[in-house]
Amino acid sequence: MRTLLISDLHLQANEPEITGLAFALFTHIESSVDHLYILGDLFEYWIGDDAVDHTAKEVAVRLKSLIDDGMKITLMHGNRDFLLGEQYVESFGGTLIREDSITVTLAGNETLLMHGDTLCTDDSQYQFYRRMVRNPGWQTDFLAKSVSEREATARMIRSTSKAKGHRAHTNNIADINNDTLNDTLDGIEVTRLIHGHTHRPAQYGPDENQHSVERLVLGDWHSDHAIVAIADSDSCRLHVWDGHSLSVKE
């Protein structure tokens, strides 16, 4: 069984080249991959399943074609598309995971999959924001607003996030906290962790990151490349997708 894992595509209408890069990858792997996991932030933002734009409709059509050809597709929420709901995912036949993490077997090893934002506890401002927007009451109130009101709120949040983004990454605020990682792994019988969110693609062995597990960090997507993970019967490694071929990340 061959599995592809991706995250942080941040698809949006004004960056069609990234959508094209994703569609090219789907075409490349459609006959060789059995299961596709999207570990959050498929879209740059999501304001409700009743406000699906042209890009999201195109994505649904493309994902449905993969499922119609026999592929399984599983999605989890990211920090951008946490309002993505069952209605949209059911439109193409995928499975939506609402938990922060799941455990699956990849390449013969128990593997923890997560978006990764819950590991970044040094970023206290984001964690406060996350608790607010993941509250069911906040989500009910937000989704009750008009589409135009929700769009205005989303633009404001994105603008604020981008203004702080460079400082956060420069100061390593957006990277994982090792104590939080240890707490997350405590009591979970896994030998591998795969996540995204930090936009710092890397592959760490158990002896490289002070933890008893291997850790693969997926990359965010650019116009000309993306860092993804591929697991087959006996290995799980990061690969570079350049729009034409996949190569093992050095």
CB-CB contact of 7 with 14 (8 Å)? no
How much is the mean pLDDT over the chain?
A: 92
Distances (CA, A) of 57 to 25, 241, 243: 18, 24, 22
pLDDT at 163: 52
Q: How large is the greatest C-alpha to C-alpha distance in the chain, in angstroms?
A: 51
pLDDT bin (cut points 50, 70, 90) of residue 161 is low
Q: Where are the domains of the chain?
A: 3-115+189-248
Length of the chain: 250
Top-level CATH class of 3-115+189-248? alpha beta
- Residue found by looking up tokens 């059995």 in the block: 34
| CA-derived radius of gyration, the chain | 17
pLDDT at 155: 84
Q: What is the mean pLDDT of residues 160-174?
A: 51
Please enumerate in sequence order all residues whose Cβ is within 8 A of that of 185, keeping only pairs 6 or more positions apart, or say none. 112, 193, 211, 212, 213
pLDDT at 83: 96
Residue 164, pLDDT > 80, answer no
Measuring CA to CA, which residue among 76, 25, 46, 85 is closest to residue 196? 76
pLDDT digits (tens, 9 = 90+) for 59-90: 999 999 999 999 999 999 999 999 999 999 99
Percentage of residues in the chain with pLDDT exceeding 90?
A: 82
- Overall pTM surpassing 0.85 (yes/no): yes
Q: 208 is written with which tokens?
A: 């490289």
pLDDT at 167: 41
Check residue 2 and report its DSSP letter.
Answer: -
